[in-house]
Amino acid sequence: MAADPAAGSGAGVPGQRLPAETFPGRPIEPSPLEPAPPQPTPPTLTGPTLTDRGPLPEDPAAGPARVIRPSVVHVPASLLPLIVAERQRSGRSNGQILIDAIEAGHEHLVKLHNESNSIGGRLFTARTAKPRLPVAQPLSPLNIRLYEQDYEVLDRLVDELGAGSRSRLATLALARYLDGSA
């Protein structure tokens, strides 16, 4: 039987480490009781980095913070291939296409709202009927990314035009813009 190299050397005392020579060929692990050696400090980066998002909002020269937020609108499935084709043709994002569609068709959207019938008024509170959608099909989600300020404008337009939702406004604008059906 081989002799235990730790026998008689106090190996049974908790917290006591044996000398490294006791276990030849085994890597030495640092003791949790010993302080770790100092690590080199990473170099300070100068200039723009991947995480640089411009000046902080507190900087008066920066103007208002431009935070981009994702959202989803639901549009008829038949519009998706038209949106993809426009995205490939123009290189613009879904959000940029939506903004252009709303701006290009704003007068038409106002006209649709003004021509809408009124519902109620005697027994119920009067309200304007929502503009009729150009297509009645299953809806599909369309991911958009816009500045927070753009969502405020979208919500204001939904209210002003009686669209009822961002999705309905997006459908009316995109259908007219991409295939002229609204």
Whole-number pLDDT of residue 103: 96
For 23-37, how does the pLDDT look when each residue is reduced to its tens digit (9 = 90+)? 566 655 655 566 666
Give the tens place of pLDDT for each residue, 76-98. 999 999 999 999 999 999 999 99
Range of the domain at 140: 72-179
Asked if pLDDT for residue 129 goes beyond 90, the answer is no
What does the alpha-carbon distance between residue 56 and residue 63 come to, in Å, rounded to a whole number? 10
Residue 137 lies in a domain: yes
Q: For residue 54, tell me if it sits in a domain.
A: no
What total number of domains does the chain contain?
1
Q: Can you list the positions of beta strands (E) in the chain?
A: 68-76, 118-119, 127-128, 139-147
What is the C-alpha to C-alpha distance for residues 136 and 182, in angstroms, rounded to an integer?
Answer: 12
Q: Is 112 inside any structural domain?
A: yes
- pLDDT given at position 21: 60
Look at residue 82 and tell me if it is in a domain.
yes
User: What gap in Å lies between CA 148 and CA 20, rounded to an integer?
Assistant: 62
pLDDT at 51: 42
**Distance (Å, rounded) from C-alpha 32 to C-alpha 137?**
65
Any domain includes 114: yes
pLDDT in tens, 18-72: 665 655 666 556 555 666 666 666 555 454 444 444 444 444 455 566 889 999 9
Strands 127-128, 118-119: pairing is antiparallel
| pLDDT above 60 for 2 | no
In contact, 121 and 155? CB cutoff 8 Å: no
How far is the C-alpha of 146 from the C-alpha of 94, rounded, in Å? 9
C-alpha torsion 120→126→127→128, nearest 10: 80
Q: What is the DSSP string of 92-125?
A: --HHHHHHHHHHHTHHHHHHHHHTPPEE-SSSS-
- Most confident region among 105-114, 123-132, 166-175 by mean pLDDT: 166-175
Looking up tokens 């993809």 gives: 84
* Residue 135 forms part of a structural domain: yes
Residue 104 in domain: yes
Instruction: Name 120's Cβ contacts closer than 8 Å, sequence gap at least 6.
Output: 126, 127
Tell me, what's the pLDDT at 92? Answer: 97
Is pLDDT above 70 for 130? no
| pLDDT score at 114 | 73
In a domain, 12, yes or no: no
The band of 153, judged by pLDDT with boundaries at 50, 70 and 90, is very high
